[in-house]
């Protein structure tokens, strides 16, 4: 691809770092990510059954893709899938400046009754998906909520972008569990009106010919290619869009497990509670024990 350029001279990108790309002539942008060691580290903190591990892996891929859209390191994106009556009660993932974390609260007994490969609806029932962007400084906070519908979390996120941001989007994810090792990867492609981020999007057409072309190419990407550890993300972009006049790529933040828990952090949080409430939390030795759902650790705090 004569027109493929890298904004930063660097080695090829394989895993635990998103790759951003833009196709100026098609008014399109995209993100690719493959999770490896960071995914193993997050999953190893919990004894998740296979269906839950696969679900969380897909959610972490999507959180990485969404997070890589952020322009400010102080900004954060949080994805939350929730239901009141499903087997999965709550799924939460967030991303901030390359820090990734997530966990799932679920009913083990009900999960065992669903079999080996439960559908998204079987896991959640009638739930909702909330995506929250917390901007830095005066950018403020924005949240969009959509029904948790579709075969995958990726399809539910596509609905979010169309309904909440009027941005036509395609999300493809691939997840594989081989014994104790989980692999996950994903692609996000979006159409931007007039080729400029931040412009008015209310009149975006879902049948724009440039978008149809990009989407047709992106849908040819196979799960095996996404998950192939020897195939760089730049090579995937090449395979998909090698006939385009110009494609620009740039690697994002390296991804790490980002649980921000510590005794100091929880002490600061607890000190915001009235003394009478903290007194009720203390044990006989005057210690308050905080259980972090993200990293499955307990923190004794004197507060």
Q: What is the pLDDT of residue 138?
A: 64
- Condensed to tens digits (0 to 9), the pLDDT of residues 86-102 reads 899 999 999 999 999 99
Q: 86-90, 186-190, 248-252, 266-270 — which is least confidently predicted?
A: 266-270
For 191, the domain range is 4-257
Separation between Cα atoms, residue 121 and residue 125, nearest integer Å: 5
Domain match, 101 and 226 both: yes
Domain termination residue (choose one: 257, 274, 289) = 257
Residue 159 clears pLDDT 70, i.e. is over it: yes
Domain match, 281 and 164 both: no
Q: Which two tokens stand for residue 184?
A: 């996950």
- Condensed to tens digits (0 to 9), the pLDDT of residues 29-76 reads 999 999 999 999 999 988 899 999 999 999 999 999 999 999 888 899
For the residues 225-229, what does the mean pLDDT come to?
96
Q: What is the pLDDT of residue 207?
A: 58
Q: What is the pTM of this model?
A: 0.86
Domain match, 153 and 178 both: yes
Domain match, 283 and 163 both: no
Residue 208 clears pLDDT 80, i.e. is over it: no
Separation between Cα atoms, residue 81 and residue 156, nearest integer Å: 10
Calculate the CA 246 to chain-centre distance: 27
Cβ neighbours for 257, distance < 8 A, ≥ 6 positions apart: 38, 41, 42, 99, 100, 101, 295
Going across the sheet that includes 76-82, the strands are 141-147, 128-134, 76-82, 88-96, 99-106, 256-257
Place of tokens 């929250």: 132
Residue 1 clears pLDDT 60, i.e. is over it: no
How many structural domains compose the chain? Answer: 2
Mean pLDDT for all residues in the chain: 87
Residue 225 clears pLDDT 70, i.e. is over it: yes
Q: How confident is the model at residue 259 (pLDDT cuts 50, 70, 90)?
A: confident
Q: Treating both helix axes as pointing N-terminal to C-terminal, what angle do 209-218 and 233-241 enclose, rounded to 10 degrees?
A: 130
Domain match, 79 and 121 both: yes
Domain match, 286 and 141 both: no
Question: 218 with 172: CB under 8 angstroms?
Answer: yes
């Amino acid at each position: 691809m004569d027109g493929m350029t890298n904004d930063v001279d660097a080695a090829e990108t394989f895993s635990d770092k998103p790759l951003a790309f833009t196709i100026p002539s098609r008014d399109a942008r995209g993100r690719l990510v493959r999770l490896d060691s960071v995914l193993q580290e997050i999953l190893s903190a919990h004894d998740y059954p296979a269906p839950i591990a696969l679900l969380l892996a897909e959610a972490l891929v999507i959180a990485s893709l969404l997070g890589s859209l952020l322009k400010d390191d102080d900004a954060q994106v949080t994805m939350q899938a929730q239901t009141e009556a499903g087997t999965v009660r709550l799924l939460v993932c967030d991303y901030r400046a390359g820090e990734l974390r997530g966990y799932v609260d679920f009913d083990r007994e009900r999960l065992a009754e669903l079999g080996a490969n439960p559908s998204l609806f079987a896991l959640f029932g009638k739930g909702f998906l909330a995506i929250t962007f917390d901007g830095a400084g005066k950018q403020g906070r924005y949240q969009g909520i959509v029904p948790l519908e579709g075969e995958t979390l990726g399809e539910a996120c596509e609905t979010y972008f169309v309904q909440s941001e009027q941005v036509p989007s395609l999300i493809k994810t691939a997840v594989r569990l081989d014994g104790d090792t989980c692999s996950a990867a994903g692609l996000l492609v979006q159409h931007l009106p007039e080729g400029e981020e931040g412009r008015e999007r209310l009149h975006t057409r879902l049948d724009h010919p440039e978008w149809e072309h990009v989407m047709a190419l992106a849908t040819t990407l196979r799960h095996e290619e996404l998950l192939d550890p020897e195939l760089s993300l730049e090579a995937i972009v090449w395979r998909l869009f090698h006939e385009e006049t110009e494609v620009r790529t740039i690697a994002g933040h390296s991804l790490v497990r980002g649980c921000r828990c510590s005794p100091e952090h929880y002490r600061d949080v607890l000190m915001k509670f009235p003394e009478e409430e903290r007194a009720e939390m203390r044990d006989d030795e005057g210690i308050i024990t905080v259980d972090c759902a993200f990293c499955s650790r307990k923190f004794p705090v004197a507060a």
